[in-house]
Amino acid sequence: MDFKSRLIEYLQLTQEDSARLSREPSFDNIPRIDDEPSVKKAINLIRQNMEDRKKIIVYGDYDTDGVMATSIIMRCFHKLHYSASFYLPTRYQDGYGLTMDNARKIADKGYSLVILVDNGVSCLDAVSFLLSRGIQTIVIDHHDLPASLPPATSIVHDQLLKYGQYPVSAGFLCFLFSVAWLGEVDDYLLTLAAISLIGDLMPIKGHNSEAVRLALRNIRANKYPEIMTMTEKSRIDETVLGMEIIPQINAVGRIVEDHTINRLVHYFADLDFKNKLPVAAFMRQTNETRKTLTAEASAKIVLDPLASANVVVANLKEGLNGLLANRLLGQNGLPTIVFSPANSDPDCYVGSLRCKDGFDVMGALDALSSYAVRYGGHPRAAGVTIKKKDYAIFREEFLRYVAINKGKGEKEREPMEIFLHECTMDSFRIIREFGPYGMDYKEPRFALRNIPVDSLQYSMKSGCLLTPLPGGARLIGFKFHKEDFADIQRTDFVVRFGLNEFRGKITLDIIAEKE
């Protein structure tokens, strides 16, 4: 069986899936929401307020999805030459969602319409208050529906719309809303929506996959300066978006405590790129600060080699807990919780949980819910707030739960076998043909077996694995050194494919990873 056929089988693609991914992407393959009653009602409300020259505000969230959703709606207002306002709350001063304090400020400033994006379905009290003041609200949200919905004039929600087979981001919903509102497909807004899908860890399947494929094509064709300025790479795929661009957006909401985050909406929403370069520099520098703080915190933590999981308290901003948890998870693969003092309550810790396939963190939190002030998330990533006084017992019970239940969930797939003669650019193109990859549709990993140790070469500068392969590729491994193979004659590697771009030249790297 040739490489392509084996890859299709490994990715568990149906004949229909394979055919769809082999075709050029098209917006015709993405269902629209133009005819939905809630969408029509919301658009009519916006148009009426615009016609009456009323004050309108878009209220978003501080993560990538919230920034993209807010930017999409604001870009629509810019295109229609209407002066609407917007507000992104801060994690540290406002917290998530429309708060009562901010609802009062909105009412006092004379707004007639509030558009809540990436929040709203859980803001029952705040929306009820706005209604009592004669202020109408539109909610465009994708978070879990509560038992009681707020009395918004219109709620646009993927579950209420019964939209698609897979959950979507708020940014994607806002894009679909923009198509109905503007009567056209704006490729730039679709690109922002795709960034929100990746940033909010939505499954890259079905309509989500098609949207990301379209966005990558748009970026290649249009070279949007807002995107290209955020990376030195000329070739952008979902990995560049996920590993380089989205972290810069998220870093601002994770670190900055004031309202500087609102600059990001100007960056992505304003029609003119003029004056945007300082914002790009600000995001880049904030992300570098984020990296430094996370690395310093990680260096101070000593993990217990005998524990069933990693449970630690770090002197770190709560917005960085998830990043540190991911770093510690990478050290030993164990389910990880990182706690830090809660900014809003000195008696509480805020924790972020991360795990690999094979363990369900939400199942663990459900079992330990009696210790939680609040919690939420999905099977591989979640957040929890606990009282400081309960930390010791929570840690003990979590470690016990992991020891009993680890490995009962979905197992991580074994890598697909590959041969040295298949480590070529042609194979890379085949891998890309079946992308984009992401949540619930992982980029394939490969097993290179029985490689002679005496054929391996190393970088003179760093001593890391750096071996030229037939066909122009190279086998690299930043965590492998010559001494790792001192007592063996042959070895196996788990690898992934990646492109290296340097001074305009693109080469293929076969990147060896340690398990």
- Residues 191, 258 within the same domain: yes
Given 222, 254, 283, the domain boundary residue is 283
Q: 101 lies in a domain?
A: yes
- Residues 264, 310 within the same domain: no
Q: 22 lies in a domain?
A: no
- Residues 451, 377 within the same domain: no
Which pLDDT band, with edges at 50, 70 and 90, does 55 fall under? very high
Q: 207 lies in a domain?
A: yes
Q: 290 lies in a domain?
A: no
Q: How confident is the model over 184-225, as pLDDT tens digits?
A: 999 999 999 999 999 998 999 999 999 999 999 999 999 999
Q: How confident is the model over 306-350, as pLDDT tens digits?
A: 999 999 999 899 999 999 999 999 888 899 999 999 988 999 999
Stretch 482-501: mean pLDDT: 93
Q: CA distances (Å), 35 to each of 172, 283, 298, 351, in order?
A: 17, 38, 51, 42
- Residues 47, 183 within the same domain: yes
What CATH number is attached to the domain comprising 80? 3.90.1640.30
Given 405, 439, 456, the domain boundary residue is 405
Domain that holds residue 236: 3-17+32-283
Q: 27 lies in a domain?
A: no
Query: DSSP 3-state assignment of 279?
Result: helix
The residues, ordered by sequence, that sit 6+ positions from 246 with a Cβ below 8 Å of its Cβ are 64, 195, 198, 199
- Residues 366, 455 within the same domain: no
- Residues 421, 393 within the same domain: no
- Residues 398, 455 within the same domain: no
For residue 276, the model assigns a pLDDT of 97
What CATH number is attached to the domain comprising 346? 3.10.310.30
Q: 499 lies in a domain?
A: yes
- Residues 49, 197 within the same domain: yes
Between 50 and 357, residue with greater pLDDT: 50
pTM over 0.85: yes
Q: Three-class SS string for 282-318?
A: HHHHHHHHHHHHHHHHHHCCCCCCCCCCEEEECCCCH
Q: Three-class SS string for 232-251?
A: CCCCCCHHHHHHHHHHHHHH
Query: DSSP 3-state assignment of 150?
Result: coil
Q: CA distances (Å), 339 to each of 247, 297, 316, 323, in order?
A: 21, 12, 9, 12
At residue 491, does pLDDT exceed 90? Answer: yes
What CATH number is attached to the domain comprising 466? 2.40.50.460
Q: How confident is the model over 171-181, as pLDDT tens digits?
A: 999 999 999 99
Q: How confident is the model over 427-479, as pLDDT tens digits?
A: 999 999 999 999 889 999 999 999 999 999 999 988 999 999 988 899 999 99
- Residues 421, 389 within the same domain: no
Q: 384 lies in a domain?
A: yes
- Residues 273, 331 within the same domain: no
Q: 411 lies in a domain?
A: no
Which pLDDT band, with edges at 50, 70 and 90, does 77 fall under? very high
Which pLDDT band, with edges at 50, 70 and 90, does 356 fall under? confident
Given 359, 384, 405, the domain boundary residue is 405
Query: Across the chain, how many H-helices and E-strands are there?
Result: 19, 16
- Residues 96, 213 within the same domain: yes
Q: How many domains does the chain have?
A: 3
- Residues 166, 261 within the same domain: yes
For residue 331, the model assigns a pLDDT of 87
